[in-house]
Amino acid sequence: MIALGILYEKVQLTKELKRQMMIRQLLDMGIREHQGQSVYDLDYYTLRWLLATRKLER
């Protein structure tokens, strides 16, 4: 059971690191908000979608 807790923490940490990298990429593209919300307030999946769609547009 302890191993599952550690695994869960690692997955969450990895997800948060990816989230921070996506925020940085969006900021570098000049995107600071989406639908009136700061990129810092967006969840992982919204950030992933936003970044993917912006990359396709370029």
What is this structure's pTM? 0.84
Task: Please write the tens of the pLDDT for every residue from 1-58.
Answer: 678 889 999 999 999 999 999 999 999 999 999 999 999 999 999 999 999 999 999 8
Q: Which pLDDT belongs to residue 10?
A: 94
> Cα(21)–Cα(1) distance, rounded to whole angstroms?
31
pLDDT given for residue 41 in this prediction: 97
Count the residues in the chain.
Answer: 58
Taking each helix axis from N to C terminus, what angle separates 2-28 and 44-57, rounded to the nearest 10 degrees? 40
